Amino acid sequence: MSQMAASALKSIYKEDAILRINNLQVFFYTDIGISRALNGVTFDVPTGKVLGVVGESGCGKSVTALACMRLLARSAKILKGDITLFRRSKKENGNGNGAIVDEVKLTDLDPMGDEIRKIRGEELAMIFQEPMTSLNPSYTVGDQIAEAIILHQEVDAAEAKQRTIKILDQVGMANAAGIFARYPHELSGGMRQRAMIAMGLSCNPSVLFADEPTTALDVTTEAQILDLMRDLQAQLGMSIVFITHNLGVVAQMCDYVAVMYLGRIVEQTSVETLFYSPKHPYTSALLNSIPHAGSRERKRLQPIRGVVPDPYSSIKGCPFHPRCNSYMPGKCDQAVPAITQIEEGHNVRCFLYSDEVEE
């Protein structure tokens, strides 16, 4: 990445970064070939804010979060790039928004080592997409949350139980003491998702990855979960990386947005700028494909033509050019555009705004 692109990335937020992903490349080596999941992902997670990561299925959103947590499958390999966690001192309210006290390169740590195990849960936490497959069916919900507290907070079982009941009540569980003794299959989908949020928040992490946490929920429950997460984020002062393909959720939840396509960030800016002044053709296409309820004008939806390319294939040039309405032959199909700052707080990767190519 060029120095100009790197400096542009640093200036996108008013806030300092709590987590920095720099030129991350992750490939999966399988029996049918090499899946190029991430091809140089670069972005910062701002301190105390919500960053939305959006894009179609298969663009690398979940893999980015799993790489940060060092929970990638054995077939995956981080070929280059690094992930840096900026540890911050705790303020009086318990959040991690104080001064930087240490920098940890997560990519240098052993994925099964003691240091990353300590960081997971205590400083970085994740809410997975499907709670029924993330919670252990053999243990009660309370025992699973209390286990995380005991591992990271150095308290006894009795104190861990009290803290678990408190956090279950905090996430809106009626009769939290009774829920403590319930098994996952005894809870509804919305209650299991609240239990997963409680587990993620149990040790007051600095960064919470939320991987499409409302996908399997009905509309009413989804609204309740989103309101809950936004309230808890403001109360605890943590950073959230909200992974979704739902731009309506982004508008409700996020302060900043990073748009991904085929393992690369193609646009990054504030949520207001993204909706009112999108620049990348892919971002514009995503917004144009949203149905508008209540509109008096009758017109057909504008779907993005084609499909996301096979991650096992290799596309020369800009990966979006086969589906792009602004495709320029002889240019877009020859090189990958570099990240360009087109205005303060707005970065885009497209030859419409710069001729600079990725190194």
Q: How many domains does the chain have?
A: 1
pLDDT band of 306, cuts 50, 70, 90: confident
Q: Is the pLDDT of residue 262 over 80?
A: yes
pLDDT of residue 90: 62
Q: Is residue 192 part of a domain?
A: no
Token digits of residue 51: 């960053």
C-alpha 103/C-alpha 86 separation (Å) is 5
Q: Is the pLDDT of residue 1 over 60?
A: no
pTM of the model: 0.88
Q: Is residue 311 part of a domain?
A: yes
Question: What is the H or E stretch that residue 68 is in?
Answer: helix 61-69
Q: Is residue 186 part of a domain?
A: no
Q: Is the pLDDT of residue 269 over 70?
A: yes
Question: What is the H or E stretch that residue 42 is in?
Answer: strand 33-46
Q: Is residue 82 part of a domain?
A: yes
Task: Give long-range contacts, CB 8 A cutoff, 24+ apart: 91-96.
Answer: 91/237, 93/236, 93/237, 94/204, 94/236, 95/48, 95/204, 95/206, 95/236, 95/237, 95/238, 96/18, 96/47, 96/123, 96/204, 96/206, 96/237, 96/238
Mean pLDDT for the stretch of residues 189-204: 86
What average pLDDT does the chain have? 86
Q: Is residue 180 part of a domain?
A: no
Q: How far is CA 107 from CA 24, 25, 114, in A?
A: 10, 11, 14
Identify the CATH number of the domain in which residue 89 sits.
3.40.50.300
Q: What digits encode the pLDDT tens for the residues 52-98? A: 999 988 889 999 999 999 999 999 999 999 999 998 776 544 454 56
pLDDT of residue 92: 46
Q: What digits encode the pLDDT tens for the residues 319-353? A: 999 999 899 999 999 999 999 999 888 999 999 99
pLDDT of residue 97: 58
Q: Is residue 323 part of a domain?
A: yes
Range of the structural domain that residue 104 is part of: 3-113+249-348
C-alpha 87/C-alpha 104 separation (Å) is 7
Measured at the CA of 293, the angle between CA 292 and CA 299, to 5 degrees, comes to 55
Q: Is the pLDDT of residue 3 over 80?
A: no
Classify each residue of 291-328 as buried b or exposed e, where b means 16 or more C-beta atoms within 10 Å of its C-beta.
eeeeeeeeeeeeebeeebbebeeeeebbbbbebbeebe
Q: Is residue 314 part of a domain?
A: yes
Which has more confidence, 77 or 213?
Answer: 77
Q: Is residue 31 part of a domain?
A: yes
